[in-house]
Structure 1
Amino acid sequence: MEKVTIGKSSLESTRLVYGCMRIAGDNSPEARKRGREALKAAYDAGYNHFDHADIYGAGACEEVFAEAVEEFGFEREKLIVTSKCGIHFEDSPNAGDPKRYDFSRDHILRSVEGSLKRLKLDSLDLFLLHRPDYLMDAAATAATLQELVDSGMVRNCGVSNFSPSQFRMLQSFYGQPLVANQVEINIHNVDTLKDGTLDQCQELGVAPMAWCPIGGVAYPAWGNTFSPEDEARIKKEVDRQAAKYGVEDWVLILAWILKLPARVLPIIGSTTPERIRAALQSLDLEYSREDWYLMLEARDGNAVP
């Protein structure tokens, strides 16, 4: 599979990243077994980058990954393991606590320690701050990231869901390059094309990772605002192009995202081995500029100005 360098790091990631959010399922033995089999399918298909977060499956997804590495003998030196932290759910740790974001030193260090323990790893190849904490003291947060790197717990740091200004602020206090920004990119949510996020990624050599890349086609996107008329118009164009290129609709949309010059790394979250393998078809499509703009026109309901 095609590989790209993650920002200004030495990490060479496959262009498609395998997302581990669903691999624990309902955490039953059967679901965990399916999760391990999905991981094996991804590894065998050539994926080398696996994306986690401390909250996925309340930590169980990281445990399932460690089980798969041991069961199937994945070679650690060939893997890029990413995890994230910063989200507290409501009633945690105390009843009545709100859902919130937390970049305090204690929370970050405790979270990374927990992830490493569950993953059975000595270090994370890439650590991301999951969602911007509005109470972030950028200098203190940058110092915590540096502490993680200096301790060997983390090799590289980045962010997730940061706006360009939030990214710039944190980077101004952090002495090393932030190498990635994991953001939502799909046919429904094209904010990163317009708010400067992908421009900044190109400018600074930051790797954009796309979560929910097939939202709005394979399933409703997060916070769906499409009307039935929007959905019908988009589906007509997606179906036309999918037939033209001889792929499924969701594979076509992956190709639409891969066309972006910031060299986006879509995160594939399916636990179905056939779909994990089928996603690779998107890398081989000679997707045209004209079809890219026709898709945008269908999405917007009008041509570009």
Structure 2
Amino acid sequence: MDRIQLSPELELSRLVYGLWRIGDDADTSPKHVQAKVEACLAQGITTMDNADIYGGYTAEAIFGAALKASPSLRGKIEIITKCGIVAPSGRHSAVRGKHYDTSAEHINASVETSLRDMATDYVDLLLIHRPDPFMDPDETGPALDALVASGKVRAVGVSNFRPYDFSLLQSSMESQLLTNQIEISLLATDAFTNGDLAYLQERAIAPMAWSPLGGGSLFKPENAALIEVLERIAVEQGLDATAVAVAWLLAHPANILPVLGTNNPYRIKKIGDATKVAIDRQTWFELYTAAIGKPVP
């Protein structure tokens, strides 16, 4: 499995295992979660993507229970988590409505809870989950810097930020924002043309892609024309169409890191197949054309 060097201090596996739905599984026992992690490690997938809000603020504790049961796992993986979304659920059930909080107080409290719930002394990468229209960069930026300096967080980044949001936060920081986790897939292609990827490429910042399979919508009947192309390429290469869809992202020169989440043991074991697919320029554009439903101009 290839690895991407985000900074001299931090590298991640090219494919990332997403824990968004870990709480939806019928079995959330430490043993079952450990089996998922081990299946990822067997393929060289060492990076685990979490967030405080996942599972109604339960996913970090579910994952942490597995780390408590098998402490040796922590040294084999990189943990990503996110903060900043406050929704009336779980420990925030008393709030009046969903909102964002990028205050120093909230970020610090969230990190302390994440460390406790995931049974770890540090998080490898902390992301601000959503751009906050009420953000004070002169408060948020130094709060992130202080967490890096403390060692509780090895590195920081953002998620769902537009280039101007990214620049605003970075302008108040000493630490470098190392990634932006955004939606990119054959069903969400805007980042290729709206400046989101270009901004990151210009700065040699590797993006992460959430929902690289369109949140499970990619293989619905309404995408029949795209599915036909995916399946033809899959047959030609002796793999499956899911691997082709992920490989399409891997082929892009921006060094995209797809985040793939599934609770199905068989599918977990097949995540790494995406690295076996060959996508040349013409194949990339064939898929892109099928995705947007028209030839490029």
- Whether these two folds match at TM > 0.5 is yes
Q: Distance in 2 between matches of 1:235 and 1:282?
A: 16
Counterpart in the other structure of 2:4: 4
Counterpart in the other structure of 1:271: 263
Contact between 2:65 and 2:119, CA under 8 Å: does it hold in 1? no
Q: Alpha-carbon deviation of 1:75?
A: 4.2
Q: Does 1:246 align with 2:244?
A: no
Contact between 2:68 and 2:119, CA under 8 Å: does it hold in 1? no
Q: Alpha-carbon deviation of 1:94?
A: 6.2
Please, which of 198, 203, 220 is the counterpart of residue 217 of structure 2? Answer: 220
Q: Distance in 2 between matches of 1:199 and 1:41?
A: 34
Q: Does 1:233 align with 2:208?
A: no
Counterpart in the other structure of 1:152: 151
269-278 vs 64-73, greater mean Cα deviation? 64-73
Contact between 1:4 and 1:12, CA under 8 Å: does it hold in 2? yes
Q: Does 1:31 align with 2:25?
A: no
Q: Alpha-carbon deviation of 1:110?
A: 0.7
Counterpart in the other structure of 1:69: 67
Aligned residues: 295
User: Structure 2: which 5+ residue stretches go unaligned?
Assistant: none
113-122 vs 52-61, greater mean Cα deviation? 52-61
> Residue 9 and residue 157 in structure 1: after superposition, are their counterparts in 2 closer, same or farther (change >3 A)?
farther
Q: Does 1:82 align with 2:80?
A: yes
Counterpart in the other structure of 2:186: 187
Counterpart in the other structure of 1:13: 12
Contact between 2:234 and 2:244, CA under 8 Å: does it hold in 1? yes
Please, which of 28, 50, 53 is the counterpart of residue 52 of structure 1? Answer: 50
After the TM superposition, which residues 174-213 of structure 1 pair with which residues of structure 2 at under 5 Å, given as runs?
174-213=173-212
What are the superposed Cα offsets for residues 145-192 of structure 1, whole Å, 9 maximum, x if unpaired?
112112221111100000011111111111121001111111111121
User: Structure 1: which 5+ residue stretches go unaligned?
Assistant: none
> Residue 93 and residue 80 in structure 1: after superposition, are their counterparts in 2 closer, same or farther (change >3 A)?
closer
Q: Distance in 1 between matches of 2:110 and 2:228?
A: 45
Q: Distance in 2 between matches of 1:2 and 1:70?
A: 28
Residue type of the alignment partner of 1:4: I
Q: Distance in 2 between matches of 1:262 and 1:16?
A: 14
TM-score (norm 1): 0.90
Contact between 1:59 and 1:115, CA under 8 Å: does it hold in 2? no
Counterpart in the other structure of 1:282: 274
Counterpart in the other structure of 2:40: 42
Residue type of the alignment partner of 1:77: G
93-102 vs 265-274, greater mean Cα deviation? 93-102
TM-score (norm 2): 0.92
Q: Alpha-carbon deviation of 1:74?
A: 3.4
Q: Distance in 1 between matches of 2:70 and 2:105?
A: 35
Q: Percent identity?
A: 37
What are the superposed Cα offsets for residues 209-258 of structure 1, whole Å, 9 maximum, x if unpaired?
11110117xx226xx9x993xx1221222222222222211111001011
Q: Distance in 2 between matches of 1:39 and 1:60?
A: 18
268-277 vs 285-294, greater mean Cα deviation? 268-277
Q: Distance in 1 between matches of 2:95 and 2:9?
A: 43
Q: Distance in 2 between matches of 1:68 and 1:84?
A: 19
Q: Does 1:261 align with 2:259?
A: no
After the TM superposition, which residues 285-304 of structure 1 pair with which residues of structure 2 at under 5 Å, given as runs?
285-304=277-296
Q: Distance in 2 between matches of 1:193 and 1:54?
A: 29
